[in-house]
Amino acid sequence: MKMSKRFIPILLATFIGTLFLTGCTDITKSSKYETHKLTYLVNTTGVEGDTSAKLEELKKVVLERVNNFEVANVSAELSNENNFNYLTVELGTIDNIDEIKGAIEQNTVLTLKKQIQDESDYATDIKAKAQAVLDNLKAGADFETTAQNAVLEDPARIFYVHSDFMYRDEVKEVFAEKLFSMEPGTISEELIEYKEQSSPLMPPIEIVSIAKLFDKKDVERITKYEKEVQISHILIAYTGAMRAAETTTRTQEEAKALADEVLAKLNEGQDFATLAKEYSDDPSNKQSGGVLDAPAGQKTYVEQFENAAFALEEDGQLSAVTETPFGYHIIKATKVTPASEESKTETQVKFGVLFYALIPAEWGPLEFDGESLTSIETRYDEAYDPYLNLNFTKEGKESLKSLTEGNMSNIIGIFVGNQLITSFTVKEPNQNGELTILKPATTQEADDLKETFLKEPLPLPIILQESEKVQQE
C-alpha cells in the first residue's frame, strides 16, 4: 500500500523525494490528452461550528479566479481525508499553469518581510521551533491541528504527512524503527533527525521530524511473487543492427543463418557458455558465457527479447532464434522461478509525521499590520511612467516609520500573501507613511497590480499539496 503523493508539498518534493516511503516511481511515455490537477490542503482550524459553508465559499471563489483565464474543462471538488479538508481543481491543458496557481493562491493580506542576509543560525532556529512544537504536543496539544498551523506558518520548510496503514517494508527505516515500537496515540519522544538526498545531483537536506502513531494492527499479508527467468544469451549481430561493432561485416541473412547454425549445435548438446564465448557479439557478457544479470519478467529488455525469454518454462530450455533491433538471439533459461504467493501475519501502522526541512529562508517576517492599508493610487512620474502609491492609517504609518528605522540598509520586500510584489533597500526612515511600487511598466499593469491588492481574500487559507498532469483516455 503506497501513500498518496498529495501529502507532499511541491516546494520540497524535488529535494526530499521519497521522504519515508520506500519504492520507485514508474516512468512511462504517453501521447494521451493531459489536464492539470491541483490539490490544496484547506486549513479550517480557526472556523467555529460547521465548516461546510466556508468550504463551499472557498470553492466558489477559486472557480471565479480560474474562470478569469477562460480555461476549458474546469472543475473543483471538496473532499475530506483523515480529518483534513482538500480542494482539488482540474483544468484543461494550458501553458500558464504557474500564473493560474498564483491567482488561485493569492491572499490579499499585505505583509512586509526582511531579506535574510545571515543564514548561519537558520538550522538552529528551525530545530528550536520543532522542539518547542514537540514539547507542546507532549503536553497535550492536538497533533493534527498543530501540524496544520505549523505548515501555514512556514509552508516552504514545514510540511505534514498523514499515512494510511502501511507495512514495515513500505516505511523508510528511520521512521519504521520508531513507529513499530510505539503504542497507538503516542508521540515520538525525541525529534527524529536524518538526511535526505533525492538524487546524486541534489545536495543532502537535513530534516528533523515529529511522528505520532495513530493505530497499529496485525493482518494476514499475502505477498505475490511474479515469475522470473534467469537467462544467458548469444547475440549474432549484422551490419546496420543497433550497437553492432564497426568490424561487423556479415549481412542480415548471414547473421540469421549463423544463428540457426549455433542453435543446431546447442540442440546437439554442445556447451552454451563455450559457444557464447566463440560466437556472441555482445561484448558485455561474451566472456562470462552470455550470462545476463537482470532476469526476464522485469521489463528490462526490448519487447521481442523479453517475450521470448519469459516464455521459457524449464531450467536449461532454449528459445528459438529471436530477432531484435540488436540482431539475432538464442536465449537459455538458467533458472526459472514460477509465480507464487506467501501468506504471513505482519504488523501495519497508521501515523502522521510533521517535517521541518533545515533549509535557509530568503525572507523573514516583520511586524506590520497589512490591514492598515487604506488606499492605493496610480500616479505618474515626469516621464509619465506609472507607479503605485500605498497609503495607511495613522497606526500603520507609525509602524512603517518604526520598522524602517530599525532596518536601515536592509532589503524589505512587499508581499501580498506569499507573492513578492517588489522590494527596496531602506536608505532612510519612512516619514510620510507611504509605500511606492515602481514595478508597473504600463497603466494597464498598474491597474492589474492594484486589483491584486484589492482582491477579496480567500475565505480559508490553502496550501498547495500536489500539482500534476493527469492523462485522459
More confident site: 125 or 346: 346
Residue 242 shares a structural domain with residue 356: no
Residue 356 shares a structural domain with residue 369: no
Give the residue among 420, 288, 431 at the shortest CA–CA distance from 361. 420
**Domain interval for residue 444:** 363-454
Under 8 Å between Cβ of 266 and 285: no
Residue 306 shares a structural domain with residue 355: no
**Residues contacting residue 69 through CB under 8 Å, at least 6 positions apart:** 94, 96, 99, 100, 103
Q: Is residue 142 part of a domain?
A: yes
Under 8 Å between Cβ of 378 and 447: yes
Give the pLDDT mean for 194-202: 80
Q: Is residue 219 part of a domain?
A: no
Amino acid letter, 397:
K
Residue 281 shares a structural domain with residue 407: no
Residue 382 shares a structural domain with residue 357: no
Residue 319 shares a structural domain with residue 175: no
Given a cut of 60, whether residue 426 has pLDDT beyond it is yes
Q: What is the DSSP letter of 321?
A: P
Residue 126 shares a structural domain with residue 187: yes
pLDDT at position 34 is 64
Question: Which residues is 348 bridged to in the sheet?
Answer: 167, 217
pLDDT at position 212 is 96
Q: Residue 102 phi/psi, 5° resolution?
A: -60, -40
Given a cut of 60, whether residue 146 has pLDDT beyond it is yes
Q: Is residue 93 part of a domain?
A: yes
pLDDT at position 472 is 52
Whichever domain contains 328, its CATH number is 3.10.50.40
Residue 354 shares a structural domain with residue 372: no
Give the pLDDT mean for 262-280: 97
**3-class SS at 123?**
helix
Q: What are 361-401's pLDDT values in tens digits?
A: 788 888 888 888 888 999 998 889 999 999 999 999 999 99
Under 8 Å between Cβ of 460 and 54: yes
Under 8 Å between Cβ of 269 and 305: no
Q: What are 12-48's pLDDT values in tens digits?
A: 443 444 444 443 322 222 334 468 899 988 888 777 7
How many domains is the chain partitioned into structurally?
3
Grid coordinates belonging to 227: 515469475
Q: Is residue 221 part of a domain?
A: no
Residue 251 shares a structural domain with residue 166: no
Specify burial of residue 324 (Cβ count, 10 A radius: 0-12, 13-18, 19+): middle
Residue 236 shares a structural domain with residue 162: no
Given a cut of 70, whether residue 125 has pLDDT beyond it is yes
pLDDT at position 7 is 36
Strands 192-196 and 84-91: unpaired
Residue 352 shares a structural domain with residue 323: no
Residue 398 shares a structural domain with residue 292: no
Under 8 Å between Cβ of 24 and 463: no
Whichever domain contains 417, its CATH number is 3.30.1360.200
The whole-chain average pLDDT of the chain stands at 86
Instruction: Average the pLDDT over each of 65-69, 225-229, 247-251 and give the range with the smallest value.
Output: 65-69
Q: What are 273-309's pLDDT values in tens digits?
A: 999 999 999 999 999 999 999 999 888 899 999 999 9
Q: What are 179-192's pLDDT values in tens digits?
A: 999 999 999 999 99
Grid coordinates belonging to 153: 506558518
pLDDT at position 108 is 66
